[in-house]
Structures are given as structure tokens and as C-alpha cells.
A and B are shown apart, each in its own frame.
Chain A
């Protein structure tokens, strides 16, 4: 028995303490229509007054059968569908899928394409974290950061729009590279964005990091230890906030992340505050990567030699990338035809969400909201 399963067996949390009036257990439904469940998540809460005795997540309200759709589309046709999973980080989704198919085809994207990919993906990471920060702060009751982050996220979306015509579901990459050459002034835009957003991140921190109420609301809330993370397969900033230095960009470098100099921010206590700090630091690291990439972006082709009809040889591949929310993996089985025989997505939100019950047992209703926010789930990705 591994360390992880031993940890899990210890977690038999008792039925909360019986209270003086021991008949006031309350079952309430949070969602699927609820302002703070980030979409259509439904959480059934068992409450004793304000204390949470247990939760159960009901998911599937946004289920579109993305994995089944994949079996009926060619590899190229399926590419836009992945954007619709984690719709706030569509670029990352596209990158993971394209690279998985590229590995299946055994081709390599040209260096310039890789640079463009890294720049756009890191921009997307910042925008995803900004959206997370705004909504998370809103859940905890601070309404102002939301508007600040949306104001700054807009600049990123403008760059996306100029690059590929779409703001949210970008479909920015193609199998084998990128479809579009960068537009005139792309480097200038990205550079000026970096200079624009760096002080804005300080601004968010100014509003929240030392805010007494924010600290009280997040410190010690929803603690998830490193062992807990490992046992449940939780990845991404949640894992790093528990002190595990695990980032696929460093551990199994893809694209050309190995060429860049950046750090993996980690924190020790694994509570909501630390996850907040980790994400804030990650935004700065992303800026660092973008700055390096823009400086060094080479000339050259943006598309590898890809056959007109994509017909990978029979076989299977699992490729994972570090999406803003954690490890995003694609497992593709090919039977040699133009369509995948089976495609399975390992979405970070779905896996991270299962930690919810563990994190909120014995805490208060308000903490459920904070924890849902801090896990940074996107229901499009959970339900697929």
C-alpha cells in the first residue's frame, strides 16, 4: 500500500460533533444556478448550522460528450473542440492537443512556431489567473479586483484577437505549428503589455495581500497537504502551494520551455492564501518567460511538413502540459484511420474538484465558496 492510500484511509472524517439541539442538520443545494459556483456546478451541502458536515458535487450539467465527438471527427476537425473545454484557457488546451497529435505523427513544430506558442500560452496563463483572481475575490466579497483584472485581461484578449481573430475560443494553433504568422507589431504589443501589466499585478496585491479581512478569510482555509494532493492527483498551483515543486514545464519540458529561465513558485502551508500567493507569483514568472521569448523569437517557418490528410500510425500517446489550472493531459489511441479511436482528456479542474469535500469538511459555508474559488475550476472542463 502506498503512502497515498494510507493517507486516504486516515481521512475518515467523523460525523461532525453532535450539537446541543441535535436535530438541525440542513441539506441545501448550492447550484447549479448559484452566483458563486463558477458555472453549473451543483454542490449538495449537509450543514449543521453553518458548519459543513459533508458535500457532494453533482456535475454533468455542461456535458457535451467532447471525448465521444472526437471519435467522429478527423484530427484536424476536432482541434477547435478542445477550446470549448477550459474556455478561459483555450490556448493551453489547443497546445496540448496539437502536441499530442504531433507526437503521434512524430513531427516537431518549427522553432518560430514554438516561440509563438509559448508567448500565447503564457499570455493565456496570465489571463486565466486574472479571471480566477477576480472571481475568487468576488466570491470572498471584494468586488473591486474583478473590474481591475477584467480591465487588464482585455489587453491580452486584444492581442489574441489581432493574432487569430478570436478572443476566447481562439483555435490559435494547428497540428504541426501555427496557422497564422504574427501580425505587424505583435512583438511591440506583447512587450508593451508586459510593461503595462507588471505594475497592475502589484496593484492587485496591494488590494488583497495585506488586507486583514482577506488574510483572515484565506489563511488556514481549505488546507490540503502535499500527501493529500498526491493521493487525489491534484496538480497545478494547488499542488505547488502545498510545497511540491512540480511543474510539467520543468519536469517534462514541452514546446521549448527548457530554453527559458524561470522559477516554480511554491509555498508551504497549502491553504487558500498560499494558493493565492502562488498564482500571483506565477503571473510574474509568466511575464518573465514572455519577455525572454519576445526577445529571442527567431525567423523561419511556422508550420512543419504535415501531410494533407492526417493519418497517424496505429498506436497511443499520452501527452500532458502545464495548463493554468494544472496538468492537462491528452491520451489518444489511433487505429491508423483519420479519426482517433479513442481520445481521453485528463482535465485538471475535474481532478482538482474532487479535493473539495476533503477541504471543506468541518469548515463553514463561507469556506466552501472560498475553496471552490481557490480550486479554480471551469465547469466546461469538468463536464466536457
Chain B
């Protein structure tokens, strides 16, 4: 038992591939924990970033700069009365949030945070991810139906139509990225490498293909990769019901859409699922088009110096954040009312700095680097989500369908065919 635990440390496989149950469970736990923290952080960040876009401050009261606000919110949700509408279908009403949250969390089994940092690597990785995340819509549909109320019903009808429609465009965009794993191209489109020509659906395989071909798929067969990436990144916003495609929960039309009748803990499950799904689709985008865990220029800037330089990134960015927190702690008003806040912020900064220092220790440094780059790339997409929400009005339902079927679908199809043609000839 013990030997199998320690021996895995030297293997270069995922725990799933190595058949190591202990490490697989540990990874699942770590991902679960990390995801929960990410959702909490995302909640705080969204409120702060959106607030600053909208000339206000956002949460400022609970903890320094509102850092504890998400925790206070979660606490509030937990102790809130759990209401079930009269004549609601009790069983289905109870199951709906579970389905959504399960679907959103299960996808993370195959997300590759690094060459070995994934629970398992499936032969059908990307297919599995798309499939399981598409199960989430079942929870939304049943939630709307079980609520026995008109607004949720309309909301869930909207969302099912929307998600089914955008899955098509999304799938086609994904296929063109999968196609690129086996196509090396010739002439101007050539990547300068040759290979056996077998493609792969495995998430790790896709990233490795990008490493082998020495190009992120977003820039491969320029501009075909970019087009597919663009189609995907529009479809993924629609798929997660976020602005400007947030019709299922269009606040001004349907009060809160499919989760109008939900409250307390059940509602918070929907919330958790929505944000996890956002992270999941962002991870797909990063894996398929932006080189997953690969650090910038893994082929061009090689050598011990560059390796060292890039591996210092995680530590130093945490140190930088810590310094920022300490700086703003110093700039806090000198008043006894702010004493606890100042101490808290300084403590938070010290914690970040400590993590940063820890990440500079050599063995950890190399292990964590992949995860860092992956998370950093996902964070860019998450920021885009917030940005969209601050900028765009909401689409109307027929316009949403038109965008999906008449613009994205043909574009994705054309990009797919062009990719095949360019890649083969």
C-alpha cells in the first residue's frame, strides 16, 4: 500500500492511467477543494471587477476589501429557509440542482492541469467533457419544470433550446481542433514537423500535440484556428448561460429564470454549478487552443536559464500579490475602526507571500508550474466572462437562435472543412 503511494511520485502518468486509487482519490479531493475555492474567489472577483467597471467599490465591509464577503454569503445561504413551492414535484425539485452540480464537477476528471496532473486521461477525453457538461442542461430543464411555476418553465425551455443549439456549433469547433492534432500541414501552413498522422481525443494528447507541433492551435492554419476558437468562445458563453446570452435567467424578463423558486442551499448549488461550468468550458478552450499547461514558448525559449526563469513565475506572482495586499494594508486609514481590517489585509498579504516563497522551493517549483500556467490561462477567460457582463446588453431569444444557427454553425462548419482541406493538401 505504502509503496504504491510513494512509487507513484516518480511515475509520469496520471493516477488513472497508473491505476493508483489512492492518488486518484487525492486528486479528486484536491480538484473538488480547488474548484470550491476558485468559485469563491471568482464570486469575489466578479463583484469587485464589475464594481470597478461600474464606478463603484463593490463589497467593502466584510473583511478588508470585502475579502470575506463570499464566505458571509455562503453562510447566509446555508442558514436560509429552504422553500419548496406548493404542488412542486418534490423528488425532481430535489434532484435538479444535484444533477447540474454533478455534471459540472464530473467534467473535471479529465481536465489536464499538467502532464500528470489529471485524475485520468481518457481516450475520449474531450468527448467525455462535452457529453457530461451537456448533462447539466437536464438539471436546468427539470428545475424549471418541477417548480410548477410559469417563469421557471419559460426559463428552462429557453435554456434547453439554447444549450442544445449551441452545442452543435461548439462541437464542430472542437472537431476542427481535434482534426489539427493529426494534421501537420504543408507549404505555408506547415508546422515544420512531421508525425504519424493519428489524431487524438485525449485532453493530454491534444496538449502534447501542440507541444510536438510547436504551435498553439489557436494560431495554427492562421486564421482557421482563430476562427474555430472564436466560435467556441462565443458558444461557451451561451452554453453556460452567461451575459450576453443569459436569457434563461434574464433578470428583467423572467425574474430569475429557472431558479426563481429555489432558495438557500439548493440555489447555491445552481450557483456553484454555473461557475464550475464556466471554469470547465474555459479549461476546454485553454486545452484545445492555448496549449493547456504549456508555458509560453516551450520550444523557442529552451535551455536551463529560460526554464528557471519561467519556473519562478508562480512564486513571484504570489509574492507580487502579497506585496500588493501589504501595500494596501499600509495605505489603510490610521483609525482604530480600521485596525482589524488592516491586520487582516496584512495577514492575507503575508499568507500570499508565504505561498509565493513556498512555490520558489525547487522540487515544488517544477511540479506546480504546469498548474500555474493552466490556471492563469483559464483566469483570462474568466475575466472575459466578467467583462462581457459589464459591457453587453442581452440578446433576444430569436436573435440568440439566429446567432447560433445562422452565424456560428456555418462559420464553424466552414472552418472545419477548410482545416481539413488545408491540412491534407
Indicate yes or no for A touching B, C-beta below 8 A: yes
Q: Please list the residues of chain A having a beta carbon within 8 angstroms of any beta carbon in chain B.
A: 26, 28, 34-36, 47, 49-50, 137-144, 146-148, 151, 207-208, 211, 213-214, 216-217, 364-367, 369
A35-B251, A141-B252, A144-B391 are known contacts. Are A367 and B396 too (CB-CB below 8 A)?
Answer: yes
Q: Mark B92-115, 1 if CB is under 8 A from A, else 0.
A: 000000000000000000000000
**B247 shortest CB reach to chain A, Å:** 8
The contact of B154 among A50, A146, A147, A216, by CB within 8 Å, is A50
B255 within 8 A of A: yes
Question: In the complex, A207→B396 CA distance in Å?
Answer: 18
Question: In the complex, A147→B390 CA distance in Å?
Answer: 11
Q: Mark B395-412, 1 if CB is under 8 A from A, else 0.
A: 111110000000000000
Inter-chain contact B54/A143, CB cutoff 8 Å: yes
The contact of B56 among A138, A147, A213, by CB within 8 Å, is A147
Inter-chain contact B150/A35, CB cutoff 8 Å: no
Contacts of A137 in B (CB 8 A): 393
8 nearest CB pairs, A to B: A141-B394, A36-B252, A147-B54, A142-B393, A141-B393, A139-B252, A140-B393, A366-B396
Q: How large is the interface on B (under 10, 10 to 19, 20 to 34, 35 or more residues)?
A: 20 to 34
**A369 shortest CB reach to chain B, Å:** 5
Contacts of A50 in B (CB 8 A): 154, 158, 397-398
Q: Mark B134-152, 1 if CB is under 8 A from A, else 0.
A: 0000000000000000110
Contacts of B251 in A (CB 8 A): 35-36
The contact of A216 among B157, B158, B250, B396, by CB within 8 Å, is B396
Residue in B150, B253, B254 with the greatest tally of chain A CB atoms within 10 Å: B253
The contact of B398 among A144, A207, A364, by CB within 8 Å, is A364
Contacts of A211 in B (CB 8 A): 392-393
B246 within 8 A of A: yes
Q: Mark B369-406, 1 if CB is under 8 A from A, else 0.
A: 00000000000000000000111111111110000000
Instruction: Sample 8 A-B pairs with CB under 8 A, ordered by A number.
Output: A35-B252, A49-B157, A141-B393, A141-B394, A142-B393, A143-B54, A144-B54, A366-B396
Question: In the complex, A309→B72 CA distance in Å?
Answer: 59
**B169 shortest CB reach to chain A, Å:** 18
Contacts of B150 in A (CB 8 A): 26, 28
Contacts of B395 in A (CB 8 A): 141, 213, 216-217
Question: In the complex, A364→B394 CA distance in Å?
Answer: 14
Question: In the complex, A149→B151 CA distance in Å?
Answer: 30
A213-B394, A217-B393 are known contacts. Are A369 and B253 too (CB-CB below 8 A)?
Answer: yes
Contacts of A151 in B (CB 8 A): 55
Question: In the complex, A164→B182 CA distance in Å?
Answer: 75
Inter-chain contact B398/A141, CB cutoff 8 Å: no
A142 to chain B: closest residue by CB = B393
**A63 shortest CB reach to chain B, Å:** 24
**B392 shortest CB reach to chain A, Å:** 5
Q: A50-B154, A217-B396 are in contact. List 9 more A-B contacts (CB 8 A).
A: A35-B255, A47-B154, A143-B54, A143-B390, A144-B391, A147-B55, A207-B391, A213-B244, A213-B393
Contacts of A34 in B (CB 8 A): 255
**B160 shortest CB reach to chain A, Å:** 13
Contacts of A138 in B (CB 8 A): 252
Contacts of B157 in A (CB 8 A): 49
Inter-chain contact B243/A141, CB cutoff 8 Å: yes
Question: In the complex, A367→B253 CA distance in Å?
Answer: 9
A366 to chain B: closest residue by CB = B396
Inter-chain contact B244/A148, CB cutoff 8 Å: no
Residue in B53, B54, B151 with the greatest tally of chain A CB atoms within 10 Å: B54
Contacts of B390 in A (CB 8 A): 143-144
Inter-chain contact B250/A366, CB cutoff 8 Å: yes
A144-B53, A369-B253 are known contacts. Are A217 and B394 too (CB-CB below 8 A)?
Answer: yes
**A190 shortest CB reach to chain B, Å:** 23
**B181 shortest CB reach to chain A, Å:** 34
Question: In the complex, A147→B55 CA distance in Å?
Answer: 7
Contacts of A213 in B (CB 8 A): 244, 392-395, 399
Question: In the complex, A214→B396 CA distance in Å?
Answer: 10
A370 to chain B: closest residue by CB = B396
Question: In the complex, A367→B397 CA distance in Å?
Answer: 10
**A220 shortest CB reach to chain B, Å:** 11
Inter-chain contact A366/B397, CB cutoff 8 Å: yes
Question: In the complex, A143→B390 CA distance in Å?
Answer: 6
Question: In the complex, A364→B211 CA distance in Å?
Answer: 49
Question: In the complex, A364→B158 CA distance in Å?
Answer: 13
Question: In the complex, A188→B395 CA distance in Å?
Answer: 43
**A35 shortest CB reach to chain B, Å:** 6
**B396 shortest CB reach to chain A, Å:** 4
Question: In the complex, A147→B154 CA distance in Å?
Answer: 29
Inter-chain contact A214/B252, CB cutoff 8 Å: no
Inter-chain contact A364/B397, CB cutoff 8 Å: yes
Inter-chain contact B54/A366, CB cutoff 8 Å: no
Question: In the complex, A208→B392 CA distance in Å?
Answer: 9
**A160 shortest CB reach to chain B, Å:** 21
**A144 shortest CB reach to chain B, Å:** 5
Question: In the complex, A144→B49 CA distance in Å?
Answer: 12
**A348 shortest CB reach to chain B, Å:** 23
Inter-chain contact B396/A148, CB cutoff 8 Å: no
A34 to chain B: closest residue by CB = B255
The contact of B396 among A28, A144, A147, A364, by CB within 8 Å, is A364
Residue in A214, A364, A366 with the greatest tally of chain B CB atoms within 10 Å: A366
**B402 shortest CB reach to chain A, Å:** 9
**A370 shortest CB reach to chain B, Å:** 8
**A149 shortest CB reach to chain B, Å:** 11
Question: In the complex, A161→B50 CA distance in Å?
Answer: 30
**A145 shortest CB reach to chain B, Å:** 9
Contacts of B243 in A (CB 8 A): 141
Question: In the complex, A217→B393 CA distance in Å?
Answer: 8
Residue in B54, B157, B393, B397 with the greatest tally of chain A CB atoms within 10 Å: B393
